[in-house]
Amino acid sequence: WLPRVVSLEGFDGERLSSLHGRLIALGWLGFDVGDSVTGIRYQLTRDGQRVLDGLVPIPTLRVVAATDDGETPSVDTDVDQSAESEVAMTADSD
């Protein structure tokens, strides 16, 4: 188990939190609430390890910002069949 990543270059706290949620939703990251000392902790799941090892196709993710009306648009999860593909995370330029 590793402590929660609280900062990552190019991502503000809200977007990083959204990314954590997406990785959990995909089943690639497990979490534990822990206690008052350890706090939230994360662990790579077996499926997450298989993705990193290149054993399963990686969907291409596009992290997007909320729309002007406050709604969050859907996130693209098209599967890239290339074994050498990486998770691409880009923000909309709008």
Nearest Cα neighbor of 29 from 11, 5, 46 is 46
Give yes or no for residue 25 having a pLDDT over 70. yes
Q: Which residue has the higher pLDDT, 29 or 8?
A: 29
For residues 50-58, average pLDDT: 87
Of 91 and 45, the structure prediction assigns the larger pLDDT to: 45
* pTM score, whole prediction: 0.57
Q: Residue 31: its pLDDT value, please?
A: 92
Other Cβ atoms within 10 Å of 32 Cβ, number: 12
CA distance 77 to 81: 12
Tell whether the model's pLDDT for residue 81 goes beyond 50.
Answer: no
Residue 32 β-bridge partners: 41
